[in-house]
Structure 1
Amino acid sequence: MKRFIKIVAAVAALSMLLTPAAAETSGRQTYTGEIDGAAFKVEMPERWNGTLLIFSHPYYPDGMPAFPPGYGNRVDSERFFLEQGYALAASDFRGRTGFVVKEAVRDQIGLLDWFEQHVGRPRRTVATGSSGGGTISLLLAEQFPRRIDGVLAMCTPIDLYGQLNMSLDINFALKTLLAPQDPAIELVNARDPKMSVSRLQAAIAAGIETPQGRARIALASAFGNVTGWNSALDPKPSSIEGQIRALAAITSGGSVGVFGAVGQADLASHAGGNPSYNVGVDYARQLLKSDQSAFVRSAYREAGLDLGKDLARLAAAPRISAEPAARQWMLRYAVPRGTAPSPVVTLHNTVDLAVADHERWYAEQVRAEGELRQLFVDRATHCAFTVAEESVALDTLLTRIDRGRWPTTDPRRLNASALALGEDWSQVYDFATNTDAVRPPAFATYRPSPLLRPSR
């Protein structure tokens, strides 16, 4: 039988409405409630090992279905880590959806305060998160270095400002090349952001049906270094058309659907104006820097198009300026500086819309190089990790925290450790098909390309 205890408590300057609820008689405890308007959940294992994992959830677009905050990159992550004895905590953040990075850091530290006062002081506290939540975890450790013992950031667009500017580049190229005469498509400060997104997605849907349109979709996607592989379960398409159809799905759903005009409007509402810009960007030079350059040239040859003419069209198109105060807001609240004194482990797929190039950029920012280990899983799509791979990444971090030295991160050892956890923890989720399937661990040695539009 479940026991429900309702408590209303005021702690320090925080207004906390708490509804702790004891779990089944397994000995575990579940606490839910609000801290200054941000919903939270804390899960305690039957036997706590003294480690708290505080999880930051990803960027949620407007309209995301409401559900209780939880832990982990996968829905089964929570069960696994509770069975291992970890305490888990997660805030849903004030505002919940959209670009709430500033609020997220404040709400996570408020949750850590609550945990220490109502549950106990952890022996070690690890900040972790997936996608945009990984950036939040890094920011949390940088702003509160004495409270966080280590960070595990998964599938993270670490330079969020750079990622959003690359998304703008993709949207700008798509509009200029596929729908230049459509006045309803506005990329920033849009009067009707949803209509802008819908019209640009329609242009992609029409363009994908012709070789010329496909070549232009490939060119636009190259400005974000996006690879035409959209399945965690199936191999990369072998044909140019197959790869561009994968690019169209990734770009339409992500760069346009989430981070196009609607995402830019949300971003501007938090930053106090538009921070995104492409003034001064030389797209011909960006293509030369892109690791998709050769692929784009092949697509243009197949389509019988003149790549130089399309690059000239991009060069001549009116540019978008950032508002200085909004740009400074982004640099202050949304871009890690690489100054966290605690150890950091990052986990990234080799192919992802949030490109692994962020890892190379972050490694260049970290002041204490010995405090960073970057792990790569050779698989496509966003956050396509198994619980076993997530566990091995966490063990790597905890070994460094506990012993003061890093274990070997040779992919063979990492894969053997993940394999030993068994098939129950080897499910991979595939965004493209909305399905799960068992896959062997895929840690690999990988060197990402440079980030095309770093914020600094």
Structure 2
Amino acid sequence: MKSVIATALLTAALISGSATAAAAEDYRTYTGSIDGAAYLVKVPTRWNGDLVLYSHGYFPLGYDPGRIALANRPETEGWLLEQGYALAASDYKGRTGAAYEQGPRDQQALLDWFGKNVRQPKRTVALGSSMGGALSIMLAEKSPRRFAGVASLCGPIDLNSAWNGILDVSFALKTLLAPDKNIELVRVTNPQQSAELLQAAITQALTTPEGRARLALAGALGNVPGWVTADKPRSADVAEQIRQQAFQISLIHVNTFGPFARVDLEQRAGGNPSWNTGIDYARQLARSGERELVREAYRAAGMDLHADLAALAAAPRVGADPAAADWMSRFAVPSATTPTPVLTLHNVADSAEPGNERWYAQQVRRSGEPNRLRQLYADRPGHCSFSSAEEIVVLEALFDRIDTGRWPHLDPRHLNAAAGKFGADHHKVTDVATFRDVPAAPGFVRFTPDPLMRPSR
């Protein structure tokens, strides 16, 4: 009995944490920690009874965002509070890395805390961006009674596919650009060395037409777009497109989801969950939206594309550890049951493939309710480079669907007109190439993405 009481007291202490509340003119702020996961909650003075639970994206190891965000953009956060919505977000225990299991657990604990310490909300909407966009879908699937809807922004919805894509690009870089270098793709023991060797291969490749062609091929296998500058159209110059592609490969495949991230992932999964056994890279290239860039680059360099595809076919492959692959299936791949309405938003040229939306829609047609899903696109490059006006219009549409049971008009012309009603402060997006905000007109557009390169099913 004593052990049971002690466990109950310990659990209560972990949940209550060091919560504090600070009064503000328009809302009340709560901060604290639940079992080591910091959280932030804001409740408007004139609360409408609804709660928006925000799931943040992937933070690389060692990264400190400085604050807990309650939306993808601060202007979106401010608008939600002005409209009377309470906002909540867990920072996740440890806050960095592939928190596919930990993040939803901490978000659920925060919902429990909110119900006990504030009030049970009338309805809760799951909002997330990037990794958080994928986790928001998973949250609603696992706890359908707790959520009234999901807004998934720029989500790599099939997170397992994303890691296989990371492997494909790195595999091609090593095979074609650094075959004699000790680059560890999985089961990494020296992440610093592998990261430095990958980056050196990319830097050197950019100096020659032959290297640029092979960079384009590696990028195409992950559908990495040759367009990243949010305030400029896609360049017509092949070399410039490859430079922009290479920038994203360095940022994503080396510095964000590269060798250091692989160590974190494998520690969480209990082994390596990624594989490329049985993958035909010639077929993968034919599926890629960047295939024409590759062909142009090889023609410009006077190289034989088939020879390099043959080299990839002959290279030793990587197998997954079954238990780790099972972990990914459970925590990083949605069932697509759509127990609540889901509205997604993706840029047409995002390093997190917009093909995720196409794949998810196919899965929903098999396992869920297609009328509960709608998918929107913005004609822009960059990961999560949306304006707050676009994000707000998406949220308004989801709230409308929840309130009425019917989707409002979601054609691009109507959505752009709605977004255009907001002031200039709501028409800025983050340019991934420079990490600064740039002006951007509403960009909703009709779009059919290419197939997801490495779907989990």
Match of 1:6 in 2: none
Q: Note if contact 1:133-1:156 (Cα within 8 Å) is conserved in structure 2.
A: yes
Residue 96, structure 1, aligned to residue 95, structure 2: yes
Question: Alpha-carbon deviations, 1:26-70, whole Å to 9, x = none?
Answer: 141000001111100001123112221100010111011152322
Q: Note if contact 2:128-2:153 (Cα within 8 Å) is conserved in structure 1.
A: yes
**Which residue of the other structure, out of 192, 195, 214, is the alignment partner of 2:193?**
195
Match of 1:226 in 2: 224
Q: Note if contact 1:22-1:28 (Cα within 8 Å) is conserved in structure 2.
A: no
Q: Distance in 2 between matches of 1:449 and 1:178?
A: 27
Aligned ranges for residues 11-410 of structure 1 at < 5 Å? Answer: 15-24=15-24, 26-65=25-64, 67-183=66-182, 185-366=183-364, 367-410=368-411
Question: Alpha-carbon deviations, 1:88-114, whole Å to 9, x = none?
Answer: 100011121101111111110110111
> Cα distance, 1:75 vs. partner?
3.0
Q: Distance in 1 between matches of 2:320 and 2:11?
A: 41
Q: Distance in 1 between matches of 2:74 and 2:141?
A: 28
- 3-state SS, counterpart of residue 19 of structure 2: strand
Q: 1:234 to 1:445 in 2, by over 3 A?
A: same
Unpaired runs of at least 5, structure 2 = 1-8
Q: Note if contact 2:70-2:77 (Cα within 8 Å) is conserved in structure 1.
A: yes
Q: Distance in 1 between matches of 2:328 and 2:164?
A: 11
- 3-state SS, counterpart of residue 78 of structure 2: helix
Q: Distance in 1 between matches of 2:440 and 2:285?
A: 34
Q: Distance in 1 between matches of 2:424 and 2:272?
A: 47
> Cα distance, 1:10 vs. partner?
7.6
> Cα distance, 1:379 vs. partner?
0.5
More deviation, 363-372/63-72? 63-72
Residue 428, structure 1, aligned to residue 426, structure 2: no
Q: Note if contact 1:279-1:321 (Cα within 8 Å) is conserved in structure 2.
A: yes
Q: Distance in 2 between matches of 1:365 and 1:13?
A: 41
Match of 2:451 in 1: 450
Q: Note if contact 2:44-2:85 (Cα within 8 Å) is conserved in structure 1.
A: yes
Q: Which amino acid aligns with 2:19?
A: T
> Cα distance, 1:194 vs. partner?
2.0
TM-score (norm 1): 0.95
> Cα distance, 1:191 vs. partner?
1.4
Q: Distance in 2 between matches of 1:280 and 1:188?
A: 17
Q: Distance in 2 between matches of 1:102 and 1:340?
A: 20
Q: 1:66 to 1:56 in 2, by over 3 A?
A: same
Q: Distance in 2 between matches of 1:109 and 1:178?
A: 45
Question: Alpha-carbon deviations, 1:337-395, whole Å to 9, x = none?
Answer: 11131000001001100010000000011110000010101110110101110010011
> Cα distance, 1:435 vs. partner?
1.4
> Cα distance, 1:419 vs. partner?
0.6
Match of 1:4 in 2: none
- 3-state SS, counterpart of residue 381 of structure 2: coil
Q: Which amino acid aligns with 2:67?
A: P
Q: Which amino acid aligns with 1:217?
A: L
> Cα distance, 1:80 vs. partner?
2.3
Q: Note if contact 1:193-1:262 (Cα within 8 Å) is conserved in structure 2.
A: yes
Q: Which amino acid aligns with 1:60?
A: F
Q: Distance in 1 between matches of 2:26 and 2:249?
A: 46
Q: 1:30 to 1:155 in 2, by over 3 A?
A: same
> Cα distance, 1:265 vs. partner?
1.4
Q: Distance in 1 between matches of 2:200 and 2:74?
A: 33
Q: 1:264 to 1:426 in 2, by over 3 A?
A: same
Match of 1:5 in 2: none
> Cα distance, 1:401 vs. partner?
0.6
Q: Distance in 1 between matches of 2:325 and 2:277?
A: 13
Aligned alpha-carbon RMSD (Å): 1.4
> Cα distance, 1:84 vs. partner?
2.0
Q: Which amino acid aligns with 1:333?
A: F
> Cα distance, 1:257 vs. partner?
1.9
Q: Note if contact 1:343-1:372 (Cα within 8 Å) is conserved in structure 2.
A: yes
Question: Alpha-carbon deviations, 1:177-196, whole Å to 9, x = none?
Answer: 1101112x111112111220
Q: Which amino acid aligns with 1:352?
A: D
> Cα distance, 1:21 vs. partner?
2.6
Q: Distance in 2 between matches of 1:68 and 1:242?
A: 35
Q: Note if contact 2:338-2:373 (Cα within 8 Å) is conserved in structure 1.
A: no
> Cα distance, 1:263 vs. partner?
1.7
Q: Distance in 2 between matches of 1:348 and 1:382?
A: 8
TM-score (norm 2): 0.95
- 3-state SS, counterpart of residue 449 of structure 1: coil
Q: Which amino acid aligns with 1:305?
A: M
- 3-state SS, counterpart of residue 282 of structure 2: helix
Q: Distance in 1 between matches of 2:124 and 2:45?
A: 18
Q: Note if contact 1:377-1:444 (Cα within 8 Å) is conserved in structure 2.
A: yes
- 3-state SS, counterpart of residue 257 of structure 1: helix
Q: Distance in 1 between matches of 2:326 and 2:85?
A: 38
Equivalences, count: 446
- 3-state SS, counterpart of residue 55 of structure 1: strand
> Cα distance, 1:11 vs. partner?
7.3
- 3-state SS, counterpart of residue 196 of structure 1: helix
Q: Distance in 1 between matches of 2:195 and 2:68?
A: 29
Q: Note if contact 2:58-2:98 (Cα within 8 Å) is conserved in structure 1.
A: yes
Q: Note if contact 1:168-1:260 (Cα within 8 Å) is conserved in structure 2.
A: no
Q: Note if contact 1:218-1:244 (Cα within 8 Å) is conserved in structure 2.
A: yes
Q: Note if contact 1:73-1:130 (Cα within 8 Å) is conserved in structure 2.
A: yes
- 3-state SS, counterpart of residue 380 of structure 2: coil
Q: Distance in 2 between matches of 1:73 and 1:344?
A: 17
Q: Which amino acid aligns with 2:285?
A: L
Q: Which amino acid aligns with 2:63?
A: M
Question: Alpha-carbon deviations, 1:139-191, whole Å to 9, x = none?
Answer: 110110000110000000000000110110000001111101112x1111121
